[in-house]
Amino acid sequence: MSQAVTQNTSQMMAQVPFDVELRNVFKFFNKEPAVHGIDLEVRQGEFFSILGPSGCGKTTTLRLIGGFETADAGKVVICGETMTNTPPYRRPVNTVFQSYALFKHLNVGENIAFGLRLQKLPKVEIEKRVKEVLAKVKLEGLRSRFPHQLSGGQQQRVALARALVNQPTVMLLDEPLGALDLKLRKEMQLELSTLQKELGMTFVMVTHDQDEALSMSDRIAVMNRGKIEQVGTPSEIYERPHTAFVAQFIGDTNLLTGDIVGVDSNLIQVLTKGGLKLTVTRNGDTPSELGKNISVSIRPEKVQLSLYKPSIPTNCFEGKVINTMYMGTHVNYVIELANQTHITAMQPNTVGILPDSDTPIYAFWLEGDCLAFS
């Protein structure tokens, strides 16, 4: 994509209004901050994911948006209106939970219509909405079945339909696919992403699954210890993480620590504790203070392997294969370099079988394929 196209896309996105805004929001439990002064903006029609490990504050953040928790400080704004003290039923949002929370004594149609009946809408309107949403989630033929007669994926669709039928502005999804097996989870990821695009509705999803967030989201917020480490598109988060935590949490990475021993206008050189001299391309955020201790991240798929020494001047190290992990579509190799420094290389399953353990080998990567963090 050209720079002009990228700039135009960014300008267009900047003009899209925000459906959800969090302004310096805090939430404390037993005087400990579960959410620590976060700022967040979710654009209208966006599939936005909040990603992070257990206990990072992501579910609390979603509950603050939904009104199931009240912020101790800061503002929660939805569609331009402050909702900080507004109860859940008065907010233009609906939530889909991991547990589905379906009523066992009601059939599919009755589960979906439950919220509409509470609103005392006319029967004709209820019937119309239920019929429309059943078609959207592809459950037309299962209207009379009860939850115990449905598969996990079908129950997930009912929970989604029950939220959609209320026509919320924002859909909140709390680990919505967490209870499904891997194959069905992959299928539902595609269905959910496709449905969101068809509806043009704002989705905010909480997940700890990196692949799920990367494959489904327009943008991702990575959380750690109650704070947001980085917000960006999937490619920005993966290719240009801002912190060592993001680099480690999103996908796999080799993280080496050392001191800066050389600096010029384009590159820095880092001497690791294991005695490796790394050369890293500088960008606007690259540390450049001589003697500063930093971390350097190299993705396994960026590490190349050769039985013969390649003719490149930097980032080429002799080592030996100490472990081989066959993964089907690719093979992971653990390489031991100088002073027992271990790195992982991921090779596509098209290059043939490399030598077994203890075979001498060269590992190398480009200067622009590694990133440095304070």
119: closest CA among 96, 87, 90? 90
In this structure, how many other beta carbons lie within 10 angstroms of the beta carbon of residue 358? 10
pTM here is: 0.87
Enter the tokens of residue 217.
């989201």
**pLDDT band at 352, cuts 50/70/90?**
low
Q: How far is CA 272 from CA 116, 197, 351, in A?
A: 62, 46, 30
Q: 204 near 64, Cβ under 8 Å?
A: no
CA 114 to chain centre: 32
| Comma-separated ranges of CATH 2.40.50.140 domains in the chain | 252-373
Any residues with CB less than 8 A from the CB of 235 and at least 6 apart, and which?
Answer: none
Q: What percent of the chain has pLDDT over 70?
A: 94
237: closest CA among 256, 255, 218, 254? 218
Enter the tokens of residue 48.
């936005």
Enter the tokens of residue 124.
């004709």
Task: Report the alpha-carbon distance of residue 292 to residue 343 in Å, rounded.
Answer: 23
Enter the tokens of residue 251.
């996908």
Average pLDDT rounded to a whole number, residues 158-177: 90
User: What's domain 15-245's architecture?
Assistant: 3-Layer(aba) Sandwich (3.40)
130-148 burial, b at 16+ Cβ within 10 Å, e below that, comes to beebbebbebeebbeebbe
* Burial of 61 per CB tally in 10 Å (0-12, 13-18, 19+): buried
The per-residue pLDDT for 51 is: 95
The per-residue pLDDT for 118 is: 87
Task: Report the alpha-carbon distance of residue 302 to residue 280 in Å, rounded.
Answer: 13
Q: What percent of the chain has pLDDT over 90?
A: 60
User: What's domain 252-373's architecture?
Assistant: Beta Barrel (2.40)
**pLDDT band at 284, cuts 50/70/90?**
confident
**Mean pLDDT of all residues belonging to the chain:** 89
The per-residue pLDDT for 283 is: 85
Task: Report the alpha-carbon distance of residue 234 to residue 16 in Å, rounded.
Answer: 19
The per-residue pLDDT for 2 is: 47
Q: Does residue 13 surpass a pLDDT of 80?
A: no
| Comma-separated ranges of CATH 3.40.50.300 domains in the chain | 15-245
Q: 75 near 85, Cβ under 8 Å?
A: no
Query: Could you read off the pLDDT of 53-106 as tens digits, one per residue?
Result: 999 999 999 999 999 999 999 999 999 999 988 999 899 999 888 777 888 899
276 secondary structure, DSSP code: -
Task: Report the alpha-carbon distance of residue 178 to residue 180 in Å, rounded.
Answer: 6
Q: 14 near 160, Cβ under 8 Å?
A: no
